[in-house]
Structure 1
Amino acid sequence: MQTTRNSIHAAKAPAAVGPYSHAVRYGGLLFLSGQTPIDPETGEIVAGGIEAQTRQVFANLKSVLTAAESNFDAVLKVNVYLTSLDDFSAMNAIYGEVFAEPYPARTTIAAACLPLGADVEIELVARDPLG
């Protein structure tokens, strides 16, 4: 089992907006930093409301998983942060398109605000296919 922390940089994900890694590989697990709905091409939050933002977040997470040689099937735990729980149903519908049964464990909470004015941020823990 791996006992050193190795960071993962995903070239196709938005650049980190602080001093952190896109993901860390450790002890047979992948820990993905929260992704917001930043378009990697423009560096801006996508327009179009919670549906467009949630889709962009999952696209960004997919880029990080791909860089780690993984995918959504390996996800064990999801943490979802919404600035309004009124957006839960719309986010949940898109979440249901991304994950299949058996679903990962999940926590969803309301956050007062998120980086760059995002309405949603999602972080993941997954099995490491290389670990």
Structure 2
Amino acid sequence: MAQRVDQATQVFTKVYASVFAGTGLEAWLRESNIDTITLTGFMTNNYVIGSVAAAEPLGFNVEVLSDATGAINIANEAGSASAQQIHETLMTLLQSNWAAVSTTDQWMSALNSGSALAGSNLIVSAAQGHEQHQK
């Protein structure tokens, strides 16, 4: 594991929600022939969703570790939502089309076996959601 970390260690300072905006990360990933990024950290409702959305038009695959990310409680003029509600909703949304969402253990297993994490797609997610909420 340490060898993987040494080969992939880069430090980028960001000021926007997306890890790509103004950081040089995209250029480094392309120079390094890396096509997939794995997101962890705080916070799901800012950096994670911003980075996943920004990765799509750049052509990068994205993995999000659901148990290694987190959200905050929010309230404003549009409404309110708990951190848990935000996190679960965003993980479901991201898995539906933009990212492969897994736990850290599932990710490690896939990494060790050399297999890719499975994402879903909007059509399957919509059909499953329709079926589940018709009951």
TM tier relative to shorter chain? 0.3 to 0.5
Greater relative CO (CA pairs within 8 A, separation 6+): 1
Structure with the higher fraction of residues in helix conformation: 2
Work out which of the two has the higher radius of gyration on C-alpha atoms and give 1 or 2. 2
Alignment TM-score, normalising by the size of structure 1: 0.34
Structure with the higher fraction of residues in strand conformation: 1
Alignment TM-score, normalising by the size of structure 2: 0.33
